[in-house]
Structure 1
Amino acid sequence: MPTNTTEQRRALLDELTQTQRERLSHIDFKLYFLGELRRADVVGRFGTGPAAATRDIAQYREIAPENLVLDNVDKVYRPTESFVPLFDHSPQRVLTALSHGFGEGVGDSLKSMVRCEFPTALNQPKMSVLAPITRAINRGKAVKLVYTSVESGRTEREIVPIALVDIGIRWHVRAFDRRRKGFRDFVFTRMESPVVLEESPIGEEEKVEKDVQWNRIIELELVPHPNHPRPEVVMMDYDMPDGVLHVKVRAANAGYMLRMSTIDCSPDHSLEGLEYALWLKDPLALYGASNARLAPGYRDPRPDAPSVPIKAL
């Protein structure tokens, strides 16, 4: 099939009904961000029959023939190396779809498309960076990229992404770093030119089950700050009629959550200011969390603990 120009693509899309464009947009989304498309994906999303789903995929191929190829081994369509999205995908909508589902299920049955943690995104990663990462998470693949960190500057890395994380001010990816032989957090805005490594096998030590900090769930008891002038307001704000807010968080994300929520984690509730509406009743609950030092006022209980400055988030 000949390749259509951008103008030809738009003209062909303009001839379609809104319903048809929605179905093609879903196909585009599945290919771009999950790296695979099955006829059942269209059937399940829109409730159409198999024949109608086949026609939708054929119509997508007519408009963007260079975007997908059939994987005869897995019997699914894959995006090609020359894939260019047929639609403009809003960053917030994409992240919402990946974290909450893209219309599949109702109510409590909604499920994320890839492993994900989220409050609210305040910055937006580039879609050309996000897409290879989410494809790698979905398919269990490694990624090669260029990464700029505060400590090491600009270096080439190989990582094995396991989950998306939203800490309120940004999205990052939890991944195994083959350079440092351990799990780390990688910020999307610091990534360049990610490429999925199709032929690079994933070792047992690189799988999500081996990430101790990710799999450890910490239970926190938050109470109105003892120095707050109106503790009853705090109880209303956080829906805590008994005066205690019970929170469960992954050890890998605990420090971020407590810092972004401005929770006093000092053992003697010594931080001052109305921004500290809550106090962590038992700071020892953070013991062993890799980023506990990010929590406001946290003090390592070990008597010989080194004083480590907070690194840039």
Structure 2
Amino acid sequence: MKWFGFLRLADHASKFGISDVQAKIDIKTYRYLSATPPPERKPGPAAAGDLGPGTYLRPDPFTPVFDAHGSMDDLWLTRFPDARPDEPLSLEVLTPPEHRIEPDEVRALLAATELRVSCRLKYQSMTSTGASERIVCPHAVVKASGRYHVRAFDFSRKRFIDFSLSRVLSSHSLPDHAPVPSTLDDDWQNMIGVEFVPHPRLSATQRSTIAREYGMQQGLSIITVRRAMLFYLLDEMRLLKAVKQQNKDLADVPVWVKNSKHVAAELASMESET
């Protein structure tokens, strides 16, 4: 109702796998709790484009019983995957190649992350030609840049680094091996604010549109991330190369990092520690 301005009984029943009778009871309960109950479209002749009976329209004004900031991602997850095949709404999903993760290969690693213990990995990095064995102590699972990573202390390198789950070939628990507290991971504990602004090359009206698109306040949006996640944030925003080289012209997106010198210095500092 937030996005389309109406709720159909059939959609509610389809989404939750319940009967039309139960769906009607649910909606009746909601309407009873609502200070502005959505009226139901009564049976009768329907004009072209009319939603027909069994549809509840969003009144104006309308005060939701359960209100929260919504996004298109919320709509995608709660509505589109369960769209009925007889609906006119067209839905296309672009599926990129998958970073495949085998449960049998990462099970011990994920368990070690949950239990805060160490484990042995067979891992294939992209900086070496062959796989190597690592003893690690993981403390967090991260999804970034389209992949799942585990943040862990690597005993051979004596530092905290990220391991891509899709590149783990096997893992085995080492409960007797001394763990390393996550509080020692400074890059994980320390936070950095990244100041996004509309790109300076845009016109005034374009900058205004981008500020609205990214939810900026007075032309500025500050995203606070863990220092360890800074690389991934800039990578996902397609600004990594431009910020590293301090060259606005390399940014192929309509935003820029206002405090780019500070952010570039943080990136350089982390790279020097590797």
Question: Normalising by structure 2, what TM-score?
Answer: 0.57
Match of 1:221 in 2: 195
Q: 1:269 Cα shift?
A: 4.9
Q: 1:272 Cα shift?
A: 4.6
Q: Distance in 1 between matches of 2:236 and 2:124?
A: 23
Q: Distance in 1 between matches of 2:247 and 2:132?
A: 41
1:207 and 2:181 aligned = yes
CA deviation digits over 1:16-40, x for unaligned, max 9? xx9xxxxxxxxxxxxxxxxxxxxxx
Preserved CA contact (<8 Å) 1:220 1:285 = no
Taking the TM superposition and a 5 Å limit, the aligned residue runs for 1:157-172 are: 157-172=134-149
Structure 2: where are the runs of 5+ without partners?
A: 1-16, 18-67, 69-96
Taking the TM superposition and a 5 Å limit, the aligned residue runs for 1:1-313 are: 123-152=99-128, 153-202=130-179, 206-229=180-203, 230-263=206-239, 264-265=242-243, 269-272=247-250, 275-286=252-263, 287-289=265-267
Which amino acid is 1:254 matched to? L
- Shift in CA distance, 268/189, structure 1 to aligned 2, threshold 3 Å: closer
Structure 1: where are the runs of 5+ without partners?
A: 1-17, 19-106, 108-120, 294-305, 307-313
Q: Number of paired residues?
A: 174
Question: Normalising by structure 1, what TM-score?
Answer: 0.50
Match of 2:4 in 1: none
Query: SS where residue 212 of structure 2 aligns?
Result: helix
Q: Distance in 1 between matches of 2:145 and 2:207?
A: 25
Q: 1:266 Cα shift?
A: 6.1
Q: Distance in 1 between matches of 2:182 and 2:269?
A: 18
Q: 1:291 Cα shift?
A: 7.8
Query: SS where residue 192 of structure 1 aligns?
Result: strand
Which amino acid is 1:193 matched to? S
Q: 1:221 Cα shift?
A: 1.0
Q: Distance in 1 between matches of 2:104 and 2:268?
A: 30
- Shift in CA distance, 179/292, structure 1 to aligned 2, threshold 3 Å: closer
Query: SS where residue 171 of structure 1 aligns?
Result: strand
Q: Distance in 1 between matches of 2:126 and 2:257?
A: 29
Query: SS where residue 226 of structure 1 aligns?
Result: coil
CA deviation digits over 1:222-268, x for unaligned, max 9? 10000134112211210114100011011111011111112352686
Q: 1:285 Cα shift?
A: 2.6
- Shift in CA distance, 269/236, structure 1 to aligned 2, threshold 3 Å: farther
- Shift in CA distance, 178/185, structure 1 to aligned 2, threshold 3 Å: same
Q: Distance in 2 between matches of 1:233 and 1:292?
A: 34
Query: SS where residue 175 of structure 1 aligns?
Result: strand
CA deviation digits over 1:28-78, x for unaligned, max 9? xxxxxxxxxxxxxxxxxxxxxxxxxxxxxxxxxxxxxxxxxxxxxxxxxxx
- Shift in CA distance, 186/282, structure 1 to aligned 2, threshold 3 Å: same
Q: Distance in 2 between matches of 1:169 and 1:260?
A: 8
- Shift in CA distance, 158/174, structure 1 to aligned 2, threshold 3 Å: same
- Shift in CA distance, 177/290, structure 1 to aligned 2, threshold 3 Å: farther
Q: 1:124 Cα shift?
A: 4.0
Q: Could you say what the CA RMSD is over the residues aligned between the two structures, in angstroms?
A: 2.9
CA deviation digits over 1:88-114, x for unaligned, max 9? xxxxxxxxxxxxxxxxxxx9xxxxxxx
Preserved CA contact (<8 Å) 1:145 1:192 = yes
Preserved CA contact (<8 Å) 1:252 1:291 = no
Match of 2:23 in 1: none
Query: SS where residue 124 of structure 2 aligns?
Result: strand
CA deviation digits over 1:150-180, x for unaligned, max 9? 2233111111111111113111111100111
- Shift in CA distance, 156/222, structure 1 to aligned 2, threshold 3 Å: same
Query: SS where residue 192 of structure 2 aligns?
Result: strand
Higher-Rg structure is 2
